[in-house]
Homo-oligomer: A and B are copies of this chain.
Amino acid sequence: MQAEIITIGDEILIGQTIDSNSAWIAGELNKAGIRVSRINSIADEASAINAGLDESLGRVDLVLMTGGLGPTADDITKKTLADYFGMPLVMNEEVLADIRGFFDRIGKPMLEMNEQQAMLPAGAHIVRNRKGTASGMWFEKEGKVLISMPGVPYEMVHLMESGFMDMIESRFRRGHVFHRTVMTFGQGESFIADTVKDWEAGLASTGVKLAYLPSPGIVKMRLSAFGDDSEELERKVMDQAIALERLIPDIVYGYDDETLEAVVAGLLKEKGKTISAAESCTGGYISHLLTSIPGSSDYLEGGLCTYSYASKTELLGVDSEIIKEKGAVSEEVVIAMAEGCRKLYQTDIAIAVSGIAGPSGGTPDKPVGTVWMAVAHEDGMFTHCFHFGRDRMRNIRMTALHALNEVRRILLARG
């Protein structure tokens, strides 16, 4: 079973908005054993929408469309769809009541253009939207299904979860898919591929597919199998995942899109340990990652963004002579920061980082991208100097990921 996704909106085509909806929809369909064979982003124009519908409905039986349903005048999708499927727009009183209720709840007046959003194609199955004013629509024609949803991500997710996924599964679900993604940190794609090449060569005969999904610092290795027997699929994919992990045990940090911060959070909770962070070049990003996980108050005592010299010396007790002598970006300073942070917050583990995130601020002996890191813990002190590149946001993110990975290793080493 294959499906296509169509996203509508000039904002994607001029590059002002990144299409995150399609990835989410594709992931959900995949779990249901439906493979997305194409994603198409097209213009907010009737001719482009009609052509896109003809093509996609010509290739597959299920097409999901997002975008173009806002109340403002630049959205023409609903009218175009009604014409395409030959359905007149009629007032839907239930939806009108929903929209009235929505504006009551947010305490704002309902406008004429919002009322128009209750004009819906007669004959389309409507999925009501509790988080916004644009309804979900399910059109059928000659055995093919088109679903139209608003482009606001949390409204789209709400409509999929509260209605469309069930309708899709009961209508289309055939066959099964099983994925297992092995998450690695710290080695490049080609280095990993060389390490596992004999195993990978033997993979074809097992019916399990492998894909490498690299991003800065992290390579996801996705194992997939499609077929009818869901238990057999799971067994053969998991067997290969175990075989893979035996080849690269040091770099595997988790599975199935787990983030490093989620893995570290899980280990901290499991082992009953606490953590704090003193961040110079990362400016709060490590604390942000750690607090992005629900329940983070169980293990995070606090964090400091120590941008100024004074905040290093006064709050963390770093000796100002050391900063003068060695510079703020030095092993001695991050050690003192980590010790000071661990003492201040009374935590089991404390991270400290100091570096030159860029684009300016580099010197010949400490160019942009130079980062010193220390992790103070019950058994000692880890330190390392990294040399990243010139991109500020990448340097911040790579520093944070390396810090989290070191915390992970320290927690695992204690058994």
Q: Which residues on A are within 8 Å of B, measured CB to CB?
A: 10-20, 22-30, 35-44, 48, 55, 70-74, 108, 111-114, 133, 152, 154, 179, 181, 188-191, 193-194, 200, 209-215, 220, 222, 224, 257, 277, 279, 282-288, 290-292, 294-297, 300-308, 310-311, 315, 344-345, 357-360, 391-394, 396
Contacting residue for A304 out of B17, B200, B304, B308, CB 8 A: B304
State in angstroms the CA–CA spacing of A292 and B181 once bound together.
Answer: 31
Contacts of A152 in B (CB 8 A): 214
Are A38 and B41 closer than 8 Å at their CB atoms? Answer: yes
Instruction: Name the CB-closest residue of B to A15.
Output: B27
**Residue A305 contacts which of B35, B211, B304, B315 (CB distance < 8 angstroms)?**
B304
Distance of A27 Cα from B277 Cα, bound (Å) = 37
A174 to chain B, nearest CB (A): 18
**Cβ A188 vs Cβ B17 within 8 A:** no
Decide: A190 near B71, CB < 8 A? Known: A37-B13, A284-B286: yes
**Pair B297/A307 contact, Cβ less than 8 Å:** yes
Q: Which residues of B contact A19 (CB under 8 A)?
A: 18-19, 22-23, 39
Docked complex Cα distance between A13 and B325 (Å)? 53
Shortest distance in angstroms between A313's beta carbon and chain B's nearest beta carbon?
A: 12
CA distance A394 to B131 in the complex (A): 14
Which residue in B11, B35, B189, B304 is a CB contact (below 8 Å) of A213? B11
Q: How far is A10 from B402 in the complex, measured between Cα atoms in Å?
A: 28
What distance in Å separates the Cβ of A363 from its nearest Cβ neighbour in chain B? 15
**B300→A303 contact, CB < 8 A:** no
Q: Which of A41, A191, A315 has the most CB of B within 10 A?
A: A41
Given contacts A16-B222, A301-B307, is CB(A294)–CB(B358) below 8 Å? Answer: yes
A-B contact pairs, 11 of them (CB 8 A): A14-B27, A14-B222, A15-B23, A16-B181, A70-B214, A71-B193, A279-B284, A287-B287, A301-B310, A302-B315, A303-B304
- Cβ–Cβ contact B190 & A114, under 8 A: yes
Residues from chain B with a CB closer than 8 A to the CB of A304 are: 302-305
Instruction: Quote the shortest CB–CB distance from A15 to chain B (angstroms).
Output: 3
- Closest partner residue, chain B, to A11 (CB atom): B213
Given contacts A14-B27, A213-B17, contact A303 B284 (CB under 8 A): yes
Do A190 and B257 touch across chains, with their CB atoms under 8 A apart? no
Instruction: State A224–B48 Cα separation when bound (angstroms).
Output: 19
**Contact status A190-B39, CB under 8 Å:** no
Closest Cβ–Cβ distance, residue A111 to chain B (whole Å) = 5
Shortest CB-to-CB span from A34 to chain B, Å, is: 11
**With a CB–CB cut-off of 8 A, which chain B residues contact A18?**
18-20, 23
Q: Which residues of B contact A220 (CB under 8 A)?
A: 11, 16
From known contacts A113-B193, A211-B74, A291-B305, infer whether A36 and B14 are also in contact, taking CB-CB under 8 Å: yes
Shortest distance from the beta carbon of A209 to any chain B beta carbon, whole Å: 8
Instruction: List 3 tightest A-B contacts by C-beta distance, closest first.
Output: A283-B291, A15-B27, A284-B287
Question: Are B284 and A291 in touch, CB under 8 angstroms?
Answer: yes
* Closest beta carbon of chain B to A59's beta carbon, Å: 9
Q: Which residues of B contact A301 (CB under 8 A)?
A: 307-308, 310-311
Which B residues lie within 8 Å of A291 (CB)?
282-285, 305, 307, 357, 396
